Structure 1
Amino acid sequence: MPAPTHPTSRPFLRHSGALLALCVGALLAACQPQNEQTAAAATPPVGHYEGSLGAAGQAGARATLDIRHPSPGHYEAEFTAPGTLSFVADTIVFSNNQLRLSRPARPGQTLALTLDGDFWRGTLTLDSTKVTTLLVKRGVPTPTAYRTEEVPQATGSAWLFAPADTDTPGAALVLLPDAETAPTAAIWADALAREGVIVLLLPPADSATAAEETPRLQAALRLLHGTSGADTTNIGMWAAGNRAATLASLLTGPGAPRAAFFIAQNTVVDANTRAAFRELRSRKMPLLALYGGAGALARSAAMRNALGGRRGAAVRVYRAAGADLLVPGSLGPVFGPGLPGEVVEWLRGQ
């Protein structure tokens, strides 16, 4: 059984997270010095591969795979495909010409390939769906779009998605999904990171009390403030469901975490949350409320009443999308109409 291996942690992160040094090879149980790796480990072939995905009865879709070797003993892999299928792998296993890639925070999505000359042949697994994949080598790998780092938490791992380009400071946010939106939250983290937004994806929480969320948020904000490439004046939060309601109350309480903006997803506005959102409105915090799924129209109307017409606050409804703001597609979910562009545009305007 090959030992799972992880891409290298990014040099532009000042945070010490989980060990991400990549050890490739079936017989490696732990990271070894470079000279030992050279002798003992098989290494995945670096390059840019192009090809297609094919599901039974459907037209093929274009796909690419980039395998990179950024430093001695370290490898990275990035899979690019239509819709929401693209990802930078957090785990790379290579042995006996077989490659297996896993997607961060989406354990149901894996890519398993076998090397045959210049070809990779295999299967992209999307939970219970399997898609045939064929890729051929076309040259050197393209530059990476973003990198990931696993950050262990007491309640499960968080994931940091950060653009590879750190020369231009950009917005950063803490993403707090609820149980309903957690399965697809990594799709949003991937999409925003590709647009230059740093995202720290926290694990879902069974409860969303102020006592539990406050230390999580404070630690998350500290990490983002210490991440190279983050505009420290433009770090905000995105929360879904009850976590958004709790967060709205936290941001108006004593000793509140300092956030530059707030995105609330599918938040139910009741008497308590209405007061909190009105207080945020009076403090002129930029607010974006997003709604999809059952009850979206009624919930969005209540949020509009709470926020009023203040400049900087926006309420948007995506009637065709579910609560996760995605719609079903032939190869997995896709973004609702106008997404993710409308969210990215709003973030850039803050």
Structure 2
Amino acid sequence: MGLALLLAACQPRQSETDSATTPPVGHYEGSISLNGQPEVRAALDIRHPRVGHYEAEFTAPGVGTLGFVADTISFSNNTLQIKRPARAGQVLTLTLEGDFLRGTLALDSSKAQALLVKRGSPTPSTYRVEELPQAKGSAWLFAPADTSTPGPALALLPDQETTPAAAIWADALAREGIIVLLLPAVDSVTGPAETVRLSQALKILHGTAGADSATIGAWAVGARAALLAHLLVDDTSLRMNFLIAQNAPVSTTDRAAWRELRKRKLPVLGLYGGLGANQQAAAMRQALGGRRGNAVRAYRAGRPDLLVAGGLSPRFGTGLPADVVEWLRSR
């Protein structure tokens, strides 16, 4: 599914109308600021790769968690609106004033002021994003624009607490050439339902251009990560090459499943943040043992979503996302 352009008239009759109703393609640079805080450099690329198809990519180099590629561009009455996929509270709304774009970046409950000026032609795409409707919500496929070199691919299964940060992680990994299928958070954590969801997700990933079929896995959070460990032990049809377990519990019943995955030599990366991270990580290290390919890391300053609060947007914990990218590339 390509990115959609919401326009009242896709084929204007006159050049004057055309200039007023089509998004202003180009590369824009400037800054964003919030409540008197220091300005942050920002850039926006609006692209028109083919007839009827527009793309937008927002970046803020100093705050990596703010960047995203838009799934939908809306342009009407010289007002441009770009929404971040899988994060409804982040919306960029800008008014075109000659070569300037002026407006706001909504960040959930706050709004940052934005001012961008055209600096030339748009830069090449970093990655593409595609919405995939599901029975409960939408999944989002983040895939690198360059698929010439096969790379890792994963299904990202957040819980309710970490869902707001899931789009941030998908963006960060996609920029590093990793394919991410972000699934919607669901309340149920039952074996049969998760088996179906995971099977469908793995099928999508195997069919995605640029995915290395030998490096496809999942990133699951909380109780869902522990459940996946049990499913992988009990259901041999779930063929995965790795598992990233974020804040996964290691109860007495779970420990046997983690140890069995160690015996089967399935690489596991344990990530822990928030209260009790060190204790949980220690329990996971004991369950996984020292087998090569397994790793467990705790981030002292991190929240459960592995981010650190502050400024315009939460930031990645120390060493992230590099730790995850390095581990994935070592598979």
TM superposition score category, shorter chain reference: over 0.9
Contact between 2:142 and 2:180, CA under 8 Å: does it hold in 1? yes
> Do residues 178 (structure 1) and 159 (structure 2) align?
yes
Q: Per-residue CA shift, 1:172-198, capped at 9, x if unaligned?
A: 000000111111101000000000000
**1:136-175 superposed Cα distances (whole Å, 9 cap, x missing partner):** 0000000010000000110110000000001000000000
5+ long unaligned stretches in structure 1: 1-8, 10-19
Please name the residue that 1:3 is paired with: none
Q: Work out whether 1:131 is the aligned partner of 2:97.
A: no
- Counterpart among 57, 60, 72 of residue 78 in structure 1: 57
The CA distance in 2 between the partners of 1:36 and 1:184, in whole Å, is: 43
Tell me the TM-score normalized by structure 1. 0.90
The alpha-carbon deviation at position 21 of structure 1 amounts to 5.1
> Mapping of 1:74-153 within 5 angstroms?
74-81=53-60, 82-153=63-134
Give the whole-Å Cα distance in 2 for the aligned partners of 1:92 and 1:23: 5
TM-score normalised to structure 2 length? 0.96
Q: Secondary structure at the match of 2:161?
A: coil
Q: Which amino acid aligns with 2:4?
A: L
Q: Could you tell me which residue of structure 2 aligns to residue 254 of structure 1?
A: 235
8 Å CA contact 2:3–2:72 kept in 1: the answer is no
- Alpha-carbon displacement from aligned partner over 1:102-126 (angstroms, at most 9, x marks no partner): 0000000000000000000000010
Which residue number corresponds to residue 54 of structure 1? 33
Q: Which runs of 5+ in 2 are unaligned?
A: none
> Can you list the C-alpha shifts for 1:300-343, whole angstroms capped at 9, x where unaligned?
11111111111111110001000000001201111000000010
Moved over 4 A (4+): 34-41
Paired residue type of 1:185: A
Deviation at 1:255, TM superposition (A): 3.5
Specify the SS of the correspondent of 1:107.
coil
**1:220 pairs with 2:201:** yes
Q: Which residue of 2 aligns with 1:23?
A: 5
> Residue 69 of structure 1 is aligned with which of 48, 53, 78?
48
Tell me if structure 1 keeps the 8 A contact 2:6–2:72.
no
| AA of the residue aligned to 2:25 | V
Q: Is the 8 A contact 2:4 2:71 kept in 1?
A: no
Identity of aligned residues (%): 65
1:57 CA displacement: 2.2
Q: Does 1:155 align with 2:136?
A: yes
Which residue of 2 is the match for residue 327 of structure 1?
308
**Residue 306 (str. 1) matches residue 287 (str. 2):** yes
1:228 & 1:49 partners in 2: Cα distance? 30
Q: CA deviation at 1:36?
A: 7.8
* Partner-residue secondary structure (3-state), 2:261: helix
Give, as a single letter, the amino acid of the residue that structure 2 aligns with 1:306: A
Question: Greater shift after overlay, 247-256 or 103-112?
Answer: 247-256
Q: Identify the match of residue 267 of structure 1 among 248, 251, 266.
A: 248
Q: 1:186-205 counterparts in 2 under 5 A?
A: 186-205=167-186
Distance in 1 separating the partners of 2:134 and 2:30: 38
Report if the CA contact (8 A) 1:146-1:194 is conserved: yes
Counterparts of 2:129 and 2:22, CA distance in 1: 21
Tell me the number of residue pairs that the alignment of Structure 1 and Structure 2 aligns.
Answer: 327
Q: Which residue of 2 aligns with 1:15?
A: none
